[in-house]
Structure formats: structure tokens, C-alpha cells
Amino acid sequence: MIVDSALYRGGARAEVDCAPHDYPTLRAGAKHEGDFVWLGLYQPSQHELEEVAAAFDLHPLAVEDALTAHQRPKLERYAGAMFLVVKTLWYVDAEDAVETGEVAFFIGPDHVITVRHGRGSKLAPARELLESGEEQLLTEGPYSAVYAVVDYIVDGYVNVMEGLTEDVDEVETSVFSDERTQDSARIYRLRRELAEVRRAVMPLREPVRRFANGEDGIDPDLRPYFRDVLDHLSSISETIENLESLLSSAFEAHMAQLSLQQNEDMRKISAGAALVVVPTLIAGVYGMNFTHMPELDWTFGYPFSLLLMGVVVAGLWVFFRRSGWL
């Protein structure tokens, strides 16, 4: 599906009199230095993409990768053109889960083609921000569009990290609360989500570093902007490592808490048992059948025995309380 297609010239959207999918005409319009076509596709069919590939001379292996989602983030050069894959991430609050999509970029001297897969990561805001001219980057050629989209996607990562940071904080509170909690399952799930984010963020650093270093013929004025994105990625990857290590520590602490609880329960149970078995012994003694047991014939022998039991139980209670067993 074609989402949008436009020709940019001198920092603004230029009017081209043709259908959105009349690619050759569009491309032919990008005649001047800095002109470029930005074509946005959403889960295109093989046919749609092949039409585009023919018009912009895309490499068949790159086209194949762009068609099937589930690629790793990567940057590859195919005879003068670049092929970039970036993962999109968003946080689904209801399930504490991170979902992923994918955007593939074909970057040539006169075009940028973005192919998006997955719900929840529309690129329109990035295009709008760029067109608004707030950052005056459009005059820098196709990489300005790449920057706009990648920056927008990386901002999405930041949101995801905030969601996950909050989740880890909750786990932390839960582990050290006195309630019996099933934290290990939640820790496991968060670790899996973090690993997913890691797989999206880590491999993206290398391509962005290359852009920030001005490789691949990027305009020097754009370099600080890509460095800014790289800085965001570094900060995110630091947060990932921090959360992972917090989860590890939290899990270990959880194990210690379980062990502690086991011990406390055992002592509580034992103290409770003592409160029953000791009076049982007393009852056993007065249940013996000796002929000569003076207490048995006392008028208040029975109440005395109950009192004895009560006193012993109370004494044990106080003793166990003091030793912290009850």
C-alpha cells in the first residue's frame, strides 16, 4: 500500500503532476542537486514492490528482505545505493509487553523509499515534522528524511524504556514487600521483553555511528543530528543494561526472600506445634493408670490440670514471641 509519495526540492514538497504510483515521472522530477523523492509504503504486495524496484533500480536481494519482515536491523550497500532496516517498538500497557514492527529504507542519491511492517508505528508524524521545516534539514537531501524517520523511531524506543523502567520498579517493590508474590514469572517476562528491545537497539548503533561519522557521503551538517540519535541509542542501551542487571539482582533477592520466608514459616509452624504437643504430653501423664496418683483424686485436679496446660502454653507463647519464632 502506498502511504504517501512526494518530491522534495529546496527544502519543500514540490508539486508533481502525476499519480502517486507513477514512479518514473516522480523520479524524473528530481533533477537538481538535493532534490529527492520520498516514497512511503506500508506492507506492500510483491507486485507493488517490484514495480517500485524497477523504477528505482533496487537490488533483488534487498527487495526480498524488504518484503518479508523479521529482519535484523542492518545497513547494507548495494552498488551505490544503501539498504537500511530499523525495528520499531511500542509498549502495550495492558499486557506489559513490547511489540515490534519494522521499517526498511532504500536510500539513493535521488530517493528514499520507506517500507513499513507492523501496526502501531505510523511514520506520518516524522514526515510532517520534516515538512514543517522546524529543523531546516530538508535541504540536505535524502538523508534528512532518513534522519527524520530514524529519530522518530528512536523516540519511540525511549517511550518503551520508560514503560519497562516502571515495570522494573514495580517488581522491585513487590520483591521486598511482605506479601507472597509470584515475582519470578514477572521477572522472566520482563527479561524477555528487554532482550527484544536489545535486539532492536544494539545492531542499529553501527549504522547510525557510520552516518554520524559522515561515511557514505552524508552532508557534514547532518552529522551532529545523527550523533544526537546515536547518543539516544547509547543512553537507551545503557538503560537496558541497567534494567537487566537490576532484574538479575531482584531475582537473586527474590530467591533470598523465599529462603527467608521458608525459614520463618518453619519456625512459626514449629512454635505452633509446640503449643499443642506439650499440653498433649500433660494430658498423657494424667491419663496414666497408676493406682497411686494423688492429683487424680483432688477435687480441683481437673481444673488444675487444665490450668497447668494453659500456663505452659502461655509460657511457650511468650518464649517463642521473644525469640521471634511467632
Nearest distance from C-beta of residue 102 to a second copy, angstroms: 13
Q: Is residue 251 involved in binding a second copy (CB under 8 A)?
A: yes
Q: Is residue 266 involved in binding a second copy (CB under 8 A)?
A: yes
Q: Is residue 45 involved in binding a second copy (CB under 8 A)?
A: no
Residue selected from 124, 273, 311, 318 as contacting a second copy according to rule CB under 8 A: 273
Q: Which is nearer to a second copy, 256 or 314 (CB)?
A: 256
Residue selected from 80, 262, 307, 311 as contacting a second copy according to rule CB under 8 A: 262
Q: Is residue 213 involved in binding a second copy (CB under 8 A)?
A: no
Residue selected from 139, 214, 267, 308 as contacting a second copy according to rule CB under 8 A: 267
Q: Which is nearer to a second copy, 17 or 289 (CB)?
A: 289
Q: Which is nearer to a second copy, 94 or 276 (CB)?
A: 276
- Stretch 127-156 residues interacting with a second copy (CB under 8 A): none
Nearest distance from C-beta of residue 255 to a second copy, angstroms: 6
Q: Is residue 78 involved in binding a second copy (CB under 8 A)?
A: yes
Q: Which is nearer to a second copy, 33 or 287 (CB)?
A: 287
Per the DSSP assignment, residues forming a β-bridge with 67 are: none
DSSP secondary structure string for all residues of 126-179: HHHHHHTTTT--GGG-HHHHHHHHHHHHHHHHHHHHHHHHHHHHHHHHHHHSSS
Cell numbers given for 57: 533500480
Cβ neighbour number for residue 19 with a 10 Å cutoff? 11
Q: Is residue 317 involved in binding a second copy (CB under 8 A)?
A: no
- Taking CB under 8 A as the binding criterion, the range among 3-11, 125-133, 145-153, 248-256 that sits at the site for a second copy is 248-256
- Identity at 26, one-letter amino acid code: L
CA atoms 180, 182, 188, 193: torsion sign: negative
User: Which residues have a Cβ under 8 Å from the Cβ of 149 and sit 6 or more positions away?
Assistant: 86, 103, 105, 114, 123, 126, 127
DSSP state of 84: E
Nearest distance from C-beta of residue 205 to a second copy, angstroms: 14
The residue count for binding a second copy (CB under 8 A) is: 84
Q: How far apart are CA 132 and CA 134, in angstroms?
A: 5
What string marks each residue from 164 to 203 as x (binds a second copy by CB under 8 A) or -?
A: --------x---x---x-xxxx-xx--xx--x---x----
Cβ neighbour number for residue 101 with a 10 Å cutoff? 21
Phi/psi of residue 41, each to 5°? -120, 150
Q: Is residue 274 involved in binding a second copy (CB under 8 A)?
A: yes
Q: Is residue 314 involved in binding a second copy (CB under 8 A)?
A: no
14, 28 Cβ separation under 8 angstroms: no
**What's the chain's Rg over C-alpha atoms?**
35
Nearest distance from C-beta of residue 225 to a second copy, angstroms: 7
